[in-house]
Amino acid sequence: MSSAFQIVVCGSLVPDPLQTLEPVTGPTGPALKNEMMLPAVLDPWASHALYEAANLAKKAPGSKVWLVSLGPKAKLQQVMMTVAQKAPFELVALDGPASGFTDAFETAAALADAISAIPGLDKSKLLVFGGWESASRGAGVTMQVIGERLGIVDQFQGVDELTPNPDGSFQVLERIEGGRHQISRCAGAPAVLGWATGNLPEPKNNPQVGMVNMRTVMPALQKAKPVKVGAEGVTYASVTLPKQQRETRLVKDASPDDIAREIVEWIRQ
C-alpha cells in the first residue's frame, strides 16, 4: 500500500476560452474589457493538476487534497459550483485579482503563505501541484517560486504522469525538449509538480461529491483572506491582441521544395 500524501493544488480563474478578450488600459494598468462580466473557469492546466491530485489521493489511502485559489471572491464562488462536483478537495480561498497582468512573484508569495498557513499540514508528506503553463499567468515561474519559498528543492515541470510506489517514492514522466519524455524517480515528498495535460479525462459531475465539497467551500469563501497582488513598478507600452493574418493561394503541382522555400521567404518578411 502506498504512503499517504498531502496534496496542495494551486489553481486560479481565467476567462472562459470561448469569450472574445479585448485588452484595455485602466486606472491601475492593463486589464481586460469588462473582465468582471466575463464567464470564468478554473485554469485548464490547474484543472489537470486537480484531477491528477484526486486520482493520486484515491490510489494512496489516507491522502488529502487542498485547492488553493487566488481570485475575486464572487468569481470563485461561481466557478466552485461546478469544480466542486469534479473531485473531492478542501478549498483555501484568497480574495484578490486573477488578472494575467499580475506579477508572478507576488502571486507565488501569496500562494506559498496560504499553503504554509494550512492547519495540520505535514511538509514531509507534501506534494504541491499546479499548472506547468497557465491561460492567464503564463510566466512559467509561479510554481517554481512557490517551491523555493516553501523550501522544496525537488521540482518537476511538464509532468504527464506520476506513479506512486509502496515505499512512498514515485516515478515521474516529464516532458523535455524534442518531443520526448524523461523518466525520473523521486525518493518521496516533499516535491513540486507542474502538470502538463496529464493522461486523465475530465471527471463527470458528481452531485454527491459536490455536496460534500460545498460544506467547506462556502465557509472558506466567507473567510477568504484579502491579498494584494499586482505589478507595481511595471509599465506596459501597449497591450493588444495578436493580429490575425491569412493569405491563401491555390497552386497546382508545386514541389515540396518550392513550397518550403516560399514559406521560409514569407516568414523572413
Whether 112 and 149 have beta carbons less than 8 Å apart is answered as yes
Domains of the chain: 6-226 (3.40.50.620)
pLDDT, tens digit, for every residue of 198-256? 788 888 889 999 999 898 899 888 888 888 876 666 666 666 666 766 777 788 888 88
User: In whole angstroms, what is the distance from residue 97 CA to residue 99 CA?
Assistant: 6
pLDDT, tens digit, for every residue of 40-49? 888 888 999 9
**What is residue 38's predicted lDDT score, i.e. its pLDDT?**
78
Whether the predicted pLDDT of 147 surpasses 80: yes
**What is residue 28's predicted lDDT score, i.e. its pLDDT?**
66
Q: Say what percent of the chain tops pLDDT 90.
A: 35
Name the average pLDDT for the chain: 85
Single-letter amino acid, residue 36? M
**What is residue 1's predicted lDDT score, i.e. its pLDDT?**
42
Q: Say what percent of the chain tops pLDDT 70.
A: 90
The pTM is what? Answer: 0.81
**What is residue 2's predicted lDDT score, i.e. its pLDDT?**
56
More confident: 99 or 112: 112
